[in-house]
Structure 1
Amino acid sequence: MVFAGNGELPGLQFVPDGGPKRAAVQTTSNSLLSLAKIFQDSMSSGSPSVGLVEKPTGVGDILALYYLSLSLQESPSTANNVGILLASVQQPAAAVSTGTWTSQPTIPGITPGTGLSLALAYYNYGLTLDPKHVHLHTNLGSLLKDIGQLDLAIQMYEQAVQCDGSFDIALTNLANAVKDRGRVSDAITYYKRAVKSNPDFAEAVCGLFTALNSVCDWRGRGGAWIQGGDSDRWHVDEEGMLMDAKKQMLSSGLTMKVVDIVTRQLEDASSWGMGVLQDEDITFLATQLHWDDAGLLPAPDYASKLRAWSKKPWEGSRLVRLVERATRVAMRRWYHDQYVQGTKKSDANYERARLPPSLTVPTAPTVLPFHTFTCPLTAKHIRMISQRNAFRISCSTLRSAWLPSTVYPPPPPPSPHLNVGYVSSDFNNHPLAHLMQSVFGFHDTSRVKAFCYATTASDKSAHRLQIEREAPVFRDASSWSSEKLVEKIVQDQIHILINLNGYTRGARNEIFAARPAPIQMSFMGFAGTLGAEWCDYLLADTTAIPPETLRSWRSNASLVDVFRDKTEEEPGEHKVSWESEQLRRWKMRKELFPDLPDDTVILGNFNQLYKIDPTTFRTWLRILSNVPRAVLWLLRFPDLGEANLRRTAKAWAGEEVASRVVFTDVAPKSQHISRARICDLFLDTPECNAHTTAADILWSSTPLLTLPRYRYKMCSRMAASILKGAMPKSYEGTQALEDLIAGSEEEYEAMAIALANGLSYHIGPAGYGQGGGRLAALRKLLWERH
């Protein structure tokens, strides 16, 4: 594979055959293997191997060492290491020579001749040498999972666990995979086995924490000591009983382990990329910045500033930010030259700043951005987790072989309309489509033209069909490569590109990292910061993002209340409809809960159960204790959570209160919205609010009580934002908001008790229950509004 048929390493030519030759070959092979591993570990950590080489080692150098070692001595472990390295290579098939690997396995999602294809071949080759090699089974499973072959991946992980039932990585990967298949109970079992095998394995600890919280099994959860105990105040011990954080004044349990892992990983992130800046990189970047800034500073001044970063903490992070900002500046310079000055220059004048080739793709923290919604972390932790994920996406994209050497050409000025692109994997039967299906058709095409880029295939749902029908331009990009989608966005001359995914399942954030549009922003899909240079703006109101949380030097923040308008209603306009609504609501109430007394107050929450935290559930139980006529209506979302919440309710509040927690199955969307009106008061989850569900609830005219628990977590403030948009901009609307938006946990509890106890029903002449009290008035206000 490396030498000619009669070739031999020079140092082995004169070693006698037999035992001495075999020993020399083995020693040489192992030495090459050890050197390759040193370089590979150094590359994975993002820091160069100090004292070994003057320049950081690249993937090609490491592969050469592995190939040499493998040519001298076949080894499943070496084949595994080669597979890992090849799987990380981003290279188009045309650029790869398959050599002797003429019979590479073909699997959907893998293009023959690519790094992934070669990695698959080496993994399979290694398994022919050792069919019970646990690392080969595990890494092959991960490769299959990454290309969307989840069932095949699960089979491979299961084989790995059969080979070694205590291998923590295989157990954790299997847990992750079966959880993605909806097998949460099996996932928890595998996570627990992994943690038992290795209590310090971050992926297993964090995976177990997330899985247990998703089904409200809080035994041993403990809690975090943040904001002086005002948030996540009530911790849970190993027996499932409550502990007051304000008395303990420290973190505890599984939560403490997760917070410690996050803290350590974010501290370690500062060393990523230290020492990668070489003289040629500094010279190139300095020259690039000099031209992009129109010569405001001489190139040597930029070089001096760059040298000040070298071998310092956060070197890699600063470099990525610099390169991405330089890309924006180059695109702006191109626009200014061509459309302001009227000067047409060669594309080569707008060269893309490049990352040093030795800067590796960084690892992301174990806790994902989406999981920060329900994990009690500080503002700094949440921001940095998003930033680390953004750096990973940026670094991976900027190293892609398909990315051109110049920045993408900017679109011409809007004439006659602005082109706005929307990229999403959720243009199907998904909450985002439920909310936005009509938005794209509402664009005034004489001023703004909407382009929808769907990155998933059609599910033929009514939501998808409406978007396809009403969007001025709809493109099914589900089968497109990143390169093709980016090029199409450029061809469509998009001025503003909107990310409707953020850090959610199915996101194609690499599209934004390639910077195909001059302005890029985030909206709707992810309720938080993306922490990315490839996201220029986040569209939100001052409730979701309080002005005081913005950095004072931010000059590009536009704080406009765009969600509220004023409407005028004629007195009595909804009188008949309101009476019909009361009758319909009462009939549905009796159909769904036929055994409830007429005066029962139905409190409800229809979120997925992962949004419930111990502090919130304790508050709900205290509300039930103080409202004897009330029941709490929850969904089996998932069904495993019901038994855990019933057990917890009994332990914390007693049998009688626990008996008033009722569960129903999740209903189809249309039925869900219809039956939401049965609920008298929706109790929001303060840790992570109802988002789409809040809109559904208010659309059904059901009052919603919320608490924006954090100033710095957008996900805990969304319901208040939606509530403000739902209320009329009038004195009555202002008073309603005061009754439904709490300022503290204690206020939330007291307001719920007062509203619930103030509600009464009497059977009117028409034979249906008519509500009285403040809750009934709030419902009517919402009904008249919508």
Structure 2
Amino acid sequence: MNPDQLFHAALNAHRQGQLPQAESLYRQLLATTPQHAHGQHYLGVLCHQSGRYQEAIEHIGNAIRLLPGNADQHNNLGLALRASGQLEAAIHQFRQGLKLAPDDGDLWQNLATAQHAAGHLLAAKEAYREAMRRIPQDPDVQAGLLNVLQALGNNAHQAGSFVDAELHFRELATMQPGNAAGHYNLGNALREQGKPAQAAESYQRALALAPEDADTHNNLGNVWRELQRLPEAIACYERAIELDPNLYHARVHLVHQRQHLCDWRHLAEDVAEIRRWVREVPQAQVSPFAFLAMPGTTAQEQLTCAQNWARNRYGRLMSEAPLYQEQPRTHGRLHIGYLSCDFRLHPLASLVTEMLELHNRQGFKISAYSYGVDDATPARLRLEKAVDHFVDIRPLSLREAAQRIHADEVDILVDLTGYTQASRSGILALRPAPVQASWLGFPGTMGAPFVDYLLSDAVITPDFDQDYYTEKLALLPHAYQPNDTKRPLADSPGRAACSLPENGFIYCCFNQSFKITPAVFACWMRLLKATPDSILWLLESNLGASANLQLAAKAHGVDPQRLIFAPRIPLDQHLARHIHADLFLDTLPYNAHTTASDALWMGVPLVTCRGNTFAGRVAVSLLQAAGLPELVATDLESYEALALKLVSEPALLQQYRKRLATTRDNSALFDTAGFSRDLEALYLTLWQARHRVQPAGC
């Protein structure tokens, strides 16, 4: 047979699946006519089909050299290269083919598949889109695009790039509206961006498709909680646990939200179980913040809880090489970076703003790195002006944010959020700064090797408690909590405007409802009984808590109407209404923090009880700095006796009010300029220690 006859005979056998016969004929052809391009091409295709990829690459490569300009040859060479694991070379061949046949849907699909395998996900996404324009009904193309979108979304979410995650998951959910996982993942990305209402819609769509998914019920509960719809949140957590009894974090959320509602049924049993998980089930996702407020938890257990959390959440990031390596500084001033999601109208602003304004700019450069929502309030605008550089890192991934901080040559990075809502402590896990510290946001240890210091004071964290903290304790000389003496203050309202009686003694507590425990509330009820003309003025955290506290009062034999709830109002108005409070009653095991400073600033004496953990000693520290250590009790019995003594001795109580008023501007608690100098001295000490002992992770 002549060469053409041999080629057609081989091709016919090939098409009929007679591969051994076809290969024999191709080889006869090439033995006599090695320059036969089509013979080289199709023998290469046959070798590919037989799993002999290197032979396929050689023969198809020969065909391209002999007869350039054939898109099919580039496509088949790309397929052989892809099958042999040579992905970049395959991508090159598919692109060469597309130069010749730009409307070939199969080439676009093959390019997308190779790019996906090579990890070029964004390029693969665009290539799949091009393929869909040419072959829109091809199920493999649609499946490939969905897989790439899923991978892109997962990678973006894991990296903390939630804007990108939303983009990818939204496209996936639009393409495949019947896929519950797509809506679930979109909900997660929306929630991380502070869009709880939109996240709730996505979770609800997911549950309509997969009503038995425990994780979706749990996450829907999280956004209901953030939207202050606590009964709905609790119902979601209960359903999640019903579906998966081992969903530890759902149980923790449930118990903590019941605390917000002051629903104390089974509280002791629930807390005992969670404490056991902390000790015995390290993989359980027990929120360190929720754990701080659970009665009976010890400093050792809080340490273990935080360490478990750090390993579970940040283990992968901690295993990566730290961004900061020993290198010379290129600037003169010590660069302090503050990291927070709460640079807005938030209690943090009433603590740190003036301190930021008063930092010594000759010796320090001050930057704020914000990943929270810009609420466009005067508080936000003032914070932006209070620092040298205000950087919005919200759109950035964890690594991008850490790289920005590192590129800015921050010397000491101070995390003001810790393990509270919307935390992005993973930025610290990447070690962008040589010295990293935790302060103010989270009242406890972070249990993480990437936090070198915990800024505190000797009252809250005495030296003998060092073993309960993975951070080295960096102690300020007075209270660890700064104050803004420029807080706005509205005109004082009348009692009637506050729904208060015109006469009678007013106990108050403006702490959040989750801090109120059965033991503390029982103490308050005994005080009300002992002071017949008194009322208890509480913050209206939520309607459920108000109703439950009134029921609890009735159970204690106290008229529920003696509990009056103060609605949430702007800070200046809230401060102004303090004028009607006679005595602030603190909580335990989680003290008043910012609320204590507010009360003392407004001249309201505060009685507290010294706890055994960080969160339970903050008010003790504030009272000591305010010059009122006598108002600290060592246990609830003496706390109750002290409060009763003050209410029964009006002259003594008035003496304390007068002391607060006359010494306020001179006390260590409200000396913001002095606090700023003390903090700067502490920063210099930490920086100097850096050159003697390297912090972990560098």
Same fold per superposition (TM over 0.5): yes
**Does structure 1 residue 707 correspond to structure 2 residue 609?**
yes
- Name the structure 1 match of 2:629: 737
Matching residue within 251, 274, 277 for 1:205: 251
Find out whether 1:695 has 2:597 as its counterpart.
yes
| Structure 2 partner of 1:16 | none
Q: Which one of the candidate residues 371, 379, 388 is aligned to 2:290?
A: 371
The answer on whether the counterparts of 1:500 and 1:522 sit within 8 Å (CA) in structure 2 is yes
CA contact (8 A) 1:98 1:113 kept: no
Structure 1 spans left out of the alignment, 5+ residues: 1-5, 11-88, 224-251, 270-364, 566-580, 728-735, 760-772
Q: Distance in 2 between matches of 1:420 and 1:109?
A: 39
Using the TM superposition, give the Cα deviation of residue 678 of structure 1 relative to its aligned residue in structure 2, in angstroms. Answer: 1.5
In 2, the alpha carbon distance for the partners of 1:113 and 1:624 equals: 55
Pairing 1:531-542 to 2, within 5 Å after superposition? 531-542=447-458
Q: Give how far 1:561 is off.
A: 1.9
Quote the Cα distance in structure 2 between the aligned partners of 1:595 and 1:650: 20
1:625 corresponds to which of 506, 521, 529: 529
Residues 655 and 537 from structure 1, CA distance in 2 versus in 1: closer, same or farther, beyond 3 angstroms? closer
Aligned to 1:52: none
**Aligned position for 2:274:** 258
Q: Distance in 2 between matches of 1:392 and 1:166?
A: 26
**Contact 1:427–1:467 (CA under 8 A) maintained in structure 2:** yes
What SS does structure 2 have at the residue aligned with 1:685?
coil
Q: Within 5 A, what are the aligned runs for 1:146-185?
A: 146=192, 150-163=196-209, 165-185=211-231
Give matches, 1:37-116, under 5 Å: 100=128
Are 2:330 and 1:380 aligned? no
Per the alignment, residue 454 of structure 1 pairs with: 370
1:472 matched residue in structure 2: 388
Please tell me the residue identity of whatever aligns with 2:442. F
Contact 1:93 1:112 (8 Å CA) reproduced: no
- Looking at structure 1, the residues matched to 382 and 241 of structure 2 have their Cα atoms a distance apart, in angstroms, of 47
C-alpha distance in 1 between matches for 2:647 and 2:619: 20
Does residue 1:412 correspond to 2:329, yes or no?
A: yes
Give the TM-score normalised by the residue count of structure 2: 0.67
What is the aligned partner in structure 2 of residue 516 from structure 1? 432
**Partner Cα distance (1:160, 1:176) in 2:** 15
1:310-709 paired onto structure 2 within 5 Å: 365-376=284-295, 377-398=297-318, 407-408=324-325, 410-412=327-329, 415=332, 417-551=333-467, 557=473, 559=475, 561-563=477-479, 588-589=494-495, 591-593=497-499, 595-597=501-503, 600-651=504-555, 653-656=556-559, 658-709=560-611
Go from structure 1 to structure 2 and tell me whether the alpha carbon gap of 1:774 and 1:142 turns closer, same or farther (over 3 Å shift): same
Distance 1:93 1:678, change over 3 A: farther
Aligned 8 A contact 1:216 1:609 in 2: yes
Instruction: Tell me the CA shift for residue 630 of structure 1.
Output: 1.5
Distance 1:163 1:594, change over 3 A: closer
Letter in 2 for 1:397: L
Per-residue displacement from partner, 1:630-685 (whole Å, max 9, x unpaired)? Answer: 1110121112211111011101x2143x3321112112100111111211000011
- Counterpart of 1:640, as a letter, is G
CA–CA separation in structure 1 for the residues paired with 2:312 and 2:647:
49
From 705, 723, 726, the counterpart of 2:623: 723
Match of 1:775 among 640, 645, 653: 653
State the Cα deviation string for residues 270-308 of structure 1 (Å, max 9, x = none). Answer: xxxxxxxxxxxxxxxxxxxxxxxxxxxxxxxxxxxxxxx
Mapped contact 1:701–1:782 kept (Cα < 8 A) = yes
Match of 1:752 in 2: 643
Contact 2:172/2:182 (<8 A) preserved: no
Structure 1 position 125, deviation (Å): 7.7
For the structure 1 residues 389 and 137, does the alpha-carbon distance in structure 2 shift closer, same or farther, using more than 3 Å as the test? same
Distance 1:146 1:525, change over 3 A: closer
Structure 1 residue 617: deviation in Å? 0.6
3-state DSSP of counterpart to 1:446: coil
Provide the rounded CA distance (Å) in 2 between the counterparts of 1:701 and 1:139: 49
Distance between the aligned counterparts of 2:272 and 2:330, measured in 1?
A: 53
Aligned pairs, number: 524
* C-alpha distance in 2 between matches for 1:422 and 1:564: 16
- Separation (CA, whole Å) in 1 of partners of 2:289 and 2:364: 31
Cα separation, 2, equivalents of 1:95 and 1:621 = 66
The 8 Å contact of residues 452 and 472 in structure 2, kept in 1 or not, is answered as: no
Cα distance in 1 between the residues matched to 2:319 and 2:126: 22
Secondary structure of the residue that 1:634 maps to in structure 2? strand
Provide structure 2 residue ranges, at least 5 long, that are not aligned to the other structure: 1-14, 20-116, 133-144, 158-163, 482-488, 665-698
Structure 1 residue 123, shift from structure 2 partner: 11
Distance 1:165 1:601, change over 3 A: same
1:219 shift after superposition: 2.2
Change in CA separation of 1:105 and 1:679 when aligned onto 2, cut-off 3 Å = farther
1:285-337 Cα offsets, whole Å, 9 max, x none, are: xxxxxxxxxxxxxxxxxxxxxxxxxxxxxxxxxxxxxxxxxxxxxxxxxxxxx
The CA distance in 2 between the partners of 1:387 and 1:112, in whole Å, is: 28
Q: Tell me how large the CA RMSD over aligned residues is.
A: 3.9
| Deviation sequence 1:75-112 (CA, Å, 0-9, x none) | xxxxxxxxxxxxxx998856877764667589999978
TM-score by length of 1: 0.60
Is the contact made by 2:461 and 2:473 (CA closer than 8 Å) also made in structure 1?
Answer: no
In the alignment, what sits opposite 1:573? none
* Partner deviation per Cα, 1:525-574 (whole Å, 9 max, x = no partner): 11111111111111111111122211399996555524499xxxxxxxxx
User: What is residue 21 of structure 1 aligned with on the other side?
Assistant: none
Which residue in 1 is equivalent to 2:662? 784
Q: Secondary structure at the match of 2:437?
A: strand
* SS at 2:643 equivalent: helix
Amino acid at match of 1:753: L
Counterpart secondary structure, 2:338? strand
- Please report how far the alpha carbon of residue 747 of structure 1 lies from its aligned counterpart in structure 2 after TM superposition: 0.5
The 1:101–1:94 alpha-carbon spacing in structure 2 relative to 1, beyond 3 Å, is closer
Matches within 5 A, 1:182-261: 182-221=228-267, 223=268, 252=269, 254-261=270-277
Structure-2 change in CA distance of 1:158 and 1:538 (3 Å)? same
1:180, 1:555 → 2: CA distance?
30
Measured at CA, do residues 722 and 655 of structure 1 come closer, stay the same or move farther in structure 2, by a change above 3 Å?
closer
Q: What's the CA shift for 1:140?
A: 5.6
Percentage of pairs with the same residue: 30
C-alpha separation in 1, matches of 2:551 and 2:175:
50
**What is the letter of the counterpart of residue 608 of structure 1?**
Q
Post-superposition CA distance 1:46-90 (Å, at most 9, x none): xxxxxxxxxxxxxxxxxxxxxxxxxxxxxxxxxxxxxxxxxxx99
SS in 1 for 2:467: coil
Contact residue 203 and residue 366 of structure 1 kept, 8 A: yes
Give the Cα separation in 2 of the matches to 1:256 and 1:90.
49
Q: How many angstroms does 1:467 deviate by?
A: 2.0
CA–CA separation in structure 1 for the residues paired with 2:539 and 2:237: 25
Aligned-residue offset at 1:158:
2.2
